[in-house]
Amino acid sequence: MTKRRDFIKMMTAAGLLSAAPGALLSSPASLRKDKKDKIWGCLLHLSFNMWEEYISPHRPFRGFRPDLRLSKPLWDDALKEMANSGVNMVVIDLGDAVSYKSHPEIAVHDAWTTDQLKTELKKIRAMGIEPIPKMNFSAGHDTWLKDYSRMVSTERYYTVCKNLIKEVVELFDKPRYFHLGMDEETASHQSHYLYTVVRKNDAWWKDFYFLVEQTEKSGSKAWIWPDYMLWNEPDQFFKKMPKSVVQSNWYYGESFDDLNNTYVKSYLKLHEHGYEQIPTGSFHAENERSIINTVKFGAQHLKDEHLKGFLQSYWKPTIEEFRERILKGTRLMGEAKKWYTENSGRS
């Protein structure tokens, strides 16, 4: 009998899997028992090595660094601020900041041990916050994979990704979600890189289906940034994207008045096609109203059953230089939650 993974690969290569995006993989029953409370999440970076060697001066904090970039006091204070602000989920960008037992070779200097990570996860849960792992497998944001980032779509790449997903799911005790990233895989987004990789069409879908399969087989629900396919190839996206995958379209502006804006319209299109969503705002620039206006838009336009919650991002490494931005961004999320609770009758 043909194995499920081999079947998926074969059908994807033939371009035949696109007919039934909702039936790619049957999720375990446990994955359907989502909490009723809305997600009020913040993205916190343990690793920030998502970008290739970076030759643009306008974002000097990007680009690969061989050492762990982390202020533990700021990390602790950010988690305390989340608890105080009513944030109930932290999405942890793990990358190469952990010395994984399956692949210790990708770890940066001073990376956390798996025991350190497990101790931290226990502390986070005791604060009433649900920790969720994130590993960005976009070919434009996978510098953390070291040499394996230059082996995309090979059998070795598949083996490494499978091992890492399985180990991380075990470390997090089968988390509800696993964020796979997958954003900005375009040549323009990599224009300042010294090495550029872009998968297209069936090559992208083949790898994507593999990552989703490994995530679901391990016991978690796949969660992604859909922008690469959603914004650039919407027909292809809605034809091939499984309904089992949670979508975090993102828009970091403050005005939602133009419903024909590609980024704003994408929320409506995802809603129209019945995808579960966790809309994402940010406080990475002078955009304080990004998250609260995202929440207001979601409350007005997205049906409750498909609106799983909201995510706030900062897009800065967790170091003292960005202390006030990270803490303020967290408080902005708390204010958005308060508005939602007071004005929607939901929590």
Question: Each residue of 195-242: pLDDT tens digit?
Answer: 999 999 999 999 999 999 999 999 999 999 999 999 999 999 999 999
Domain 37-344: state its class.
Answer: alpha beta
- β-pair type (246-247, 221-224): parallel
Domain ranges of the chain: 37-344
The answer to whether the CB of 246 falls within 8 A of the CB of 191 is no
State the pLDDT at residue 5: 53
The predicted model gives 299-306 an average pLDDT of: 95
Q: pLDDT tens, 72-125?
A: 999 999 999 999 999 999 999 999 999 999 999 999 999 999 999 999 999 999
Q: What is the DSSP letter of 67?
A: B
- Hey, what amino acid is at 174? K
Instruction: Please give the model's pTM, rounded to 2 decimal places.
Output: 0.90
pLDDT level of residue 54 (50, 70, 90 thresholds): low
Whether the predicted pLDDT of 297 surpasses 90: yes
Angstrom distances, CA of residue 223 to CA of 108, 165, 195, 245: 25, 13, 27, 6
